[in-house]
Amino acid sequence: MIGLMLGVLLSLAVVSFTMSSGRSLANLFNYVDMQYSSRQTLDIMSRDMRQVAYLSAFATNKLEFVQANGQKLVFEYDAAKGTLSRTDGTNATKVLLKQCDYLQFAIYQRAPKTGTFDHDVSTNPSSAKIINVSWNCWRSILGAKLTTESVQGAKIVIRN
């Protein structure tokens, strides 16, 4: 009887440890996946935005640029789908981020405020030289939206 009880307790401990380890590994995989997606998205956005001719239209969820070759380049956040998409001059659309709760663009002028490292907010797309982008994405663990999330942000300078 005592052997049976010890066997049951040992089995419960092994099952509990296995479930906890599985959840931890799923959480770790989600963080790695989100960091990879965020890094890749920032690389693409930085490369593209630095090479555009100018910003032609601005909204907190959408940026429209004119590239050096005259074609449009659009980055757009769809809050209903939770995605950030990139559309180039050939109308080829690529989803850069998925499962985002929040994404916002802001534009600034190039010259910093006197005595600070801050920049003046711009409301005119033609005067914008700095693009600020920030987002918050999540992943589910075993089908439930839990605490796995990633907050990212960057300021990108238009070089032209």
Least Cα distance to 105 among 154, 138, 150, 43 occurs for: 154
CB atoms under 10 Å from CB of 44, counted, come to 14
The pTM of the full predicted model, rounded to 2 decimals, is 0.79
**Whole-number Å distance between alpha carbons of 107 and 132:** 6
Query: Which residues are paired to 133 by β-bridges?
Result: 105, 154
Report domain extents, the chain.
25-157
- Give the per-residue pLDDT at 23: 77
For 9-43, the pLDDT digits (tens) are: 999 988 888 888 877 787 788 888 888 888 999 99
**Geometric angle at alpha carbon 53, from 135 and 40, rounded to 5°:** 35
